[in-house]
Structure 1
């Protein structure tokens, strides 16, 4: 079964299951969880070292210190 179909099936299962819940406090907990997940920003979940690396890369790009993609492939050994 392909992934898209699995995702759609899981969504339908959850919709059906949620439609049977009668406990308001439980539904509120689920709603709170969803709200928290929507508010998450990937930048809040990375380490300080990763943030510093991103900032360094942005600074280098702003200074025009860029390498072409071919150079990155050469450095990291990936070939087409």
Structure 2
């Protein structure tokens, strides 16, 4: 992470910790809510297809138990 960005974050945290004006705090909270991004909009088409396929598989009963999956992938864990 960029050191300048990190410093700005620290400066904001310090400023916010001393802030007593409730109206500014409410404005910041509203800004935070509007800035939340929908992760679905941020992922690639391939990732979306993979998730959709996983949901379809689950809906059709094509599932493996945790213990089966663990055995299958234990060499990579």
Could you state the TM-score of these two structures normalised by the residue count of structure 2? 0.56
Unaligned ranges ≥5, structure 1: 1-9, 20-27
Distance in 1, Cα, partners of 2:59 & 2:29: 42
Unaligned ranges ≥5, structure 2: 1-9, 21-26
Misfit runs of 4+, over 4 Å: 16-19, 30-33
Number of positions where the alignment pairs a residue of Structure 1 with one of Structure 2: 61
Which of the two has greater helix per residue? 2
Could you state the TM-score of these two structures normalised by the residue count of structure 1? 0.54
Spell out the pairing of 1:1-80 with structure 2 (5 A cutoff).
12-16=13-17, 34-38=32-36, 40-77=37-74
- Cα RMSD of the aligned pairs, angstroms, is 3.3
